[in-house]
Amino acid sequence: MLDERYRAYLRWTIYQIYPRSFMDSNGDGIGDLKGIISKLDYLQELGINALWICPCYQSPNDDNGYDISDYESIMAEFGTMEDMERLIGEIHRRGMKIIMDFVPNHTSTKHPWFQESRKGKDNPYSDFYFWFDEKPNNWQAAFRGSAWEWDEMRGQYYLHSFTVSQADLNYENPDVVKAMQHVVDFWREKGVDGFRIDVIDLISKDFSKKRDDFGPRLHEFIRELIGREPFFTVGESDVHDIGEMVRHCAANRHELSTLFVFDHLECGRADKFTPKKDSLKFLRDCLIRWQQETAEHDLLYTLFSDNHDQPPLISRIADDAKLRYESATDLAAMLYLLKGVPFIYQGQEIGMTSAHLDSIDDFDDVESINAYHDFCRTMPEEEALGKVDFGSRDNARHPMCWDDTEGAGFTTGTPWISLHPRYREINVKSDRKADKSVWRFYQSLLSLRRNNETFLDGDFDVISSVDDPYFIYTRAWKDEKWVIVCNFETEQEISVPFDCEAPALTNLKRTSMSGVYAPYECAIAMVSD
């Protein structure tokens, strides 16, 4: 049985906000906190009761806020601490929760700790980071190039797992643990309900290992940082194995409540920048495996397909052109009626797609730009651009499309990054009015889920077999059972081995559960006994 506390988290429906691109309230082209406040009613109407807000702390923005120069103040472009307090208050007033992004692995090199640290070996911050006379290994940074950078002032190398301006903190130093505990307590006192924790697998290192993750003191550091009292935490970690997840998330470990498992997102690509043809079967089989294994070990699982680092899944494994509505809704039914905590990324509720840009100048993301220059060394520019266009994180970072006016309803000014090229077609206003509305489907789906204990705590079972080009699963609780049918890419006859009530929700108005299904058609019904 899932731990009591974890069962409560199943009731959270979390919406991820990338503040820079969500809603601009003052016309400077940059999304901000007041903009978020203005959309809380909208989110509530959709059926959201918790928000995860990507970093909104003071930052030079080399990695859009993941390079923090002060954890306890707000990025001026986003507003003030008062705006933040108002946002927390407005969220709580609506009975919703707020989860902040916590970035413990690295600070910006502009952070005063680093500025002090680089001054020499005998200041109080000297050991806040990793300094070496010689590179101790040849670790590579996630955003390309060596993970070691020479610092003139200090006359030593420091470690940066991401850009050169994101220096890794040294948790072997108890003062670092204390400083970061202070950050956690600061935000808890402000009233936040949980944390999404950035690259948590990196906070302990073993320099003799091939890679910079899962160091020997990882679990100890996690407990020191966040295990002091129960609190919702979801870690970003490179976990692919249930045993590893148990070590992080079993209730008696007092570490993370859950973590994002990324295995299912590997569908539709050979690597981050290389497409590969895949069927929804890949996604299904991955999800089944994790549903079964997390149930077996009483772990809380996260249900998500998109985030600020991932091009929309719909563009990788479904039809984001002709059957965009069907694809978006079918994917939602495949995912969000499983057991776990749903995370919906901004724009997903209207079936937002990858952007497709035709010049490298239109990209902003540091990872994409570095990758492009790297690719150009071995291939023609056009091919390099194609790869970046496919895999770029910017695909998820274009401003939220609220309507089809000049600034897409996001801004009255010039947006900090180009508007999505399809914003006149795909936007909240048009979608909500459309005959085939992704938004209304999400709203119905979330309401179905929220209002039936079966979809929260009920057991998962898979009915279709491994060779079937579709997915049938059930959720059962006490004497109630629901069946969910999601067809894949091709039209076919599907027969459901239960007597069912009329479908409670479908994406194409079908009236019975068995029969011919159109591509990406889905239906959900209660099983009659």
Contact stretch for Ca ion (CB under 5 A) within 16-24, 127-135, 154-162, 372-380: 16-24
Q: Is 382 a catalytic residue?
A: no
Quick check: 427 and 401 in contact, CB under 8 A? yes
User: What's the closest the beta carbon of residue 324 comes to ligand GLC, in angstroms?
Assistant: 26
User: What's the closest the beta carbon of residue 30 comes to Ca ion, in angstroms?
Assistant: 4
Give the dihedral sign, CA 250/256/257/263: negative
**∠ CA 269-493-505, rounded to 5°:** 80
User: What's the closest the beta carbon of residue 393 comes to ligand GLC, in angstroms?
Assistant: 7
User: What's the closest the beta carbon of residue 90 comes to Ca ion, in angstroms?
Assistant: 17
First to last CA, the chain: 26
Residue 100 touches which of ligand GLC, Ca ion, none (Cβ within 5-8 Å per kind): none
Residue 30 touches which of ligand GLC, Ca ion, none (Cβ within 5-8 Å per kind): Ca ion
373 φ, ψ to 5°? Answer: -65, -35
C-beta of 184 vs 446, nearer to ligand GLC: 184
C-beta of 76 vs 153, nearer to Ca ion: 76
Residue 24 touches which of ligand GLC, Ca ion, none (Cβ within 5-8 Å per kind): Ca ion
Give the dihedral sign, CA 440/260/397/487: negative
User: What's the closest the beta carbon of residue 102 comes to ligand GLC, in angstroms?
Assistant: 11
Residues that bind ligand GLC (CB under 6 A): 63, 66, 103, 162, 198-199, 236, 308-309
Q: E strands within 333-407? A: 341-345
User: What's the closest the beta carbon of residue 162 comes to ligand GLC, in angstroms?
Assistant: 4
Q: Based on the shown chain and the rule CB under 5 A, indicate whether residue 32 belongs to the binding site for Ca ion.
A: yes
Torsional class of 191: left (φ above 0), alpha (ψ -120 to 50), beta (otherwise): left
Altogether, the residues listed in the chain come to a count of 529
Quick check: 196 and 102 in contact, CB under 8 A? yes
User: What's the closest the beta carbon of residue 402 comes to Ca ion, in angstroms?
Assistant: 14
Using CA atoms of 400, 404, 407, 411 in order, give the dihedral in degrees to the nearest 10: -60
C-beta of 80 vs 140, nearer to ligand GLC: 140
Secondary structure in 3-state letters for 209-222: CCCCCCCCCHHHHH
Residue 32 touches which of ligand GLC, Ca ion, none (Cβ within 5-8 Å per kind): Ca ion
Residue 28 touches which of ligand GLC, Ca ion, none (Cβ within 5-8 Å per kind): Ca ion
Question: For the purposes of burial, counting CB atoms within 10 Å of the CB of 172, is it exposed (0-12), middle (13-18) or buried (19 or more)?
Answer: middle
Q: E strands within 418-508? A: 459-462, 470-477, 480-487, 492-494, 505-506
Q: Is 62 a catalytic residue?
A: no
Secondary structure in 3-state letters for 422-434: CCCCCCHHHHHHC
Q: Based on the shown chain and the rule CB under 5 A, indicate whether residue 489 belongs to the binding site for Ca ion.
A: no
Q: Catalytic: which of 101, 198, 213, 367?
A: 198
Q: Based on the shown chain and the rule CB under 5 A, indicate whether residue 452 belongs to the binding site for Ca ion.
A: no
Question: For the purposes of burial, counting CB atoms within 10 Å of the CB of 143, is it exposed (0-12), middle (13-18) or buried (19 or more)?
Answer: buried
C-beta of 330 vs 365, nearer to ligand GLC: 365
Residue 309 touches which of ligand GLC, Ca ion, none (Cβ within 5-8 Å per kind): ligand GLC
Rg (alpha carbons) of the chain, rounded to whole number: 23
| Residue from 28, 70, 172, 238 in contact with Ca ion (CB under 5 A) | 28
| Residue from 20, 24, 340, 426 in contact with Ca ion (CB under 5 A) | 24
Q: Catalytic: which of 62, 236, 326, 367?
A: 236
Binding residues for Ca ion (CB under 5 A) = 24, 26, 28, 30, 32
What are the residue numbers of the active site?
198, 236
